[in-house]
Amino acid sequence: MSTGPLVVVGDALLDRDLDGTVDRIAPDVPVPVVDNPVIRSRPGGAGLAAALAAHDGLDVVLVTALGRDAGGREVTTLLAESGVHVEDIGLGGRTPEKVRILARGRPMIRVDRGAQVASVDVLTEAARAALRDASAVLVSDYGRGITAAPAIRLALAELATRTPMVWDPHPRGALPVGPVTVTTPNQHELAHFMASAVIDGIASLTTAAQMLARRWSVMVCVTCGARGALATYADGPPIVVPAPSVSAGDTCGAGDRFASAAASSLSRGAVVTEAIEDAVTAATKFVFAGGAASVGPTGRGQAAPTRQVGTLAQRVRDRGGTVVATGGCFDLLHAGHVAMLQAARRLGDCLVVLLNSDASVRRLKGPGRPFQPQRDRAAVLCGFDCVDVVEIFDEDTPIRALERVRPHVFAKGGDYTHADLPEKTVLDRWGGQAVVLPYLPGRSTTRLLEEVRHRA
């Protein structure tokens, strides 16, 4: 298996959200007035897919075409902040931009600018080298010409038989090149490719997906929103992966999250069925966290920044949901930790894990701890389906972090009483409740360390 980067090939856009409040109607025309909108920018299209893959902790190279304009420069900066290296082969026109107008996080209208199709047919030597060394390739087609360029198609065709490749198609885009690993149309795209008005239900989805798989000679994985995904080859029974249940969320960017998560899993050596399962889970968590609007420049770390954690918690509160938090060092994870995290998640609608930083663990546990750095501990926690987001804090207790998150419930694992919980006082300020969730009998980090020393 190659240890090279995950390479994303496709059309990058600049996405902007203008999010404000609506409390009145304009006096001259009967339209809502969006007051004091906050402008948030992020990479869009293949740029979003690349940023999401980088958030998974991978080395990511994006091969795309950007305009020589302010939009192109902004996209490049945003991608660099997310840890993505950009190989820009040049658009020759304006960088495409999508603008959403929102009211309290709810989309009202979208405006698209720069819709011209790119006409490029050159691949830089650096881009060729990245493709040759790629551990996996994600083709993120937004129908703007990148995947139709002969030079790019030839390079992708040479890789299709030996490198894991996910092809996320577009109705206006190019067909996959050769036997790619999996292609990921959504239901609407599948209906377009099959010239069908409506495709719904497992039987009709299976029939249409198998016909497309036969036509393209690939595995077809149809993303079905809240129902998960259905994957099939040209014949045989389909693989159906249901999605975890969530109360609500923003589906903007869910397809990019699905495709990038599948490619990330394949790059780490997963088989395609495992990659699809990982992608369903990742896309569901992404939607629940607020979709593309929750994406920020987290760099290469696995933990989310404070702003993103606060955004998730506020969205859950706005929907009338229950925010649950827990905290700890989680240095040597054991079955007791897992049972406690799963139980904590069942207490509400999202679980925020407040993780002691390396410096905090050293002060609490001594100079020989932690055994694993905070980045690795956060990455392991983020891998659990029951954990929605992780925030790392530097203090000895998570009191300041709790003040930022303001959870309804704070769950601690182990033999605690309210007298032992310094967090109880701060929780009382907003009516939060501290609860104790016992570990499984006989499971503790201390016992695990004693066992290791005894056997050494």
28 among known catalytic residues: no
Six-digit token string for 166: 């996910």
Which entry of 17, 168, 250, 256 is annotated as an active-site residue?
Answer: 256
User: Could you give the 3-state DSSP secondary structure of residue 52?
Assistant: helix
User: Could you give the 3-state DSSP secondary structure of residue 203?
Assistant: helix
User: What is the arrangement of strands in the sheet containing 239-241, beginning at the earlier edge strand?
Assistant: 84-88, 60-64, 6-10, 136-140, 165-168, 182-183, 219-223, 229-232, 239-241
Close Cβ partners of 100 (under 8 Å, ≥ 6 residues apart): 15, 16, 17, 18, 107, 109, 110, 252
User: Tokens 């894990």 belong to which residue?
Assistant: 353
Q: What angle do CA 133, 149, 110 make, to 5 degrees?
A: 100
DSSP structure class, residue 97:
E
Q: Which amino acid is at 44?
A: G
**Number of neighbouring beta carbons within 10 Å of residue 452:** 10
Q: Where are the beta strands (DSSP E) in 269-415?
A: 323-328, 350-356, 389-393, 409-413
Q: Which residues are catalytic?
A: 256
